[in-house]
Structure 1
Amino acid sequence: MAEIDDVRPLGAGLERSYEVYVRGRLKFRVGQIVYVAFSLDGTVMGFGFPKEERAALVASEPHKFRLPSASDMRFHWVHADLAALDRDEARELVVDAWRMVVPQKVWRAYELAHPTGAD
């Protein structure tokens, strides 16, 4: 079972990433782009994910993942039940979402420094 504290240090430590609170919700941004956000109660993690792949992700593990609200379908976004994720899986989703919003040279440098994806 993953918790916010499992991914918070990772999100805060990724290059160009910073945390903010918006209406009481913890979010991670690069510039003004939000790539991870948590529900107020900390049970759901929204994260950046390719639009063309999200339906397959949700269909493959509906107990873990769900589509965002109708108003958020225009964004590259998916929701995950944190309790259904293990720590490593949650951390991998954060890194993958971050990769979507930083320049290629930034995430390539991260991969060289962390070849297994661990921080």
Structure 2
Amino acid sequence: MTQFPDDDKPLVEFLRQHRGHIPPSAPDLESQIMQAVASAPPQPQWRQRWILPSALVASLLVTWAGYRVLVPNTASTASTNTAELEAFLATNWDSVVAGETPASSSSQDAEADWLLSEN
């Protein structure tokens, strides 16, 4: 064990001479403490109180996030569909005004083109 240097000995002696006296303890101190603990109202358990609101908030966030993932964004889809529809109408209108006939007049090709434009 490490020995302290000798220059601390006067300080140690001073503290020993001027230390306070420990007051005697009451003989029934333990029973007083136990009686105070027994008469105190039970403290609420904070750990159980925050579980329900936290679980509720977490489930709402998961539900909202799942809904956002599963439902497509209609704003971007609508703008894409609008651009495609505008291009389709412009080419068809030009064909009607110019009096041109479509390159393929087959009803199967027209139906396939119509189905593709709908999807």
Please give the TM-score of this superposition, normalised by the length of structure 1.
0.18
Larger Rg: 2
Q: Which has the higher strand share?
A: 1
| TM-score normalised by structure 2 residue count | 0.18
Question: Counting helix residues as a fraction of each chain, which structure ranks higher?
Answer: 2
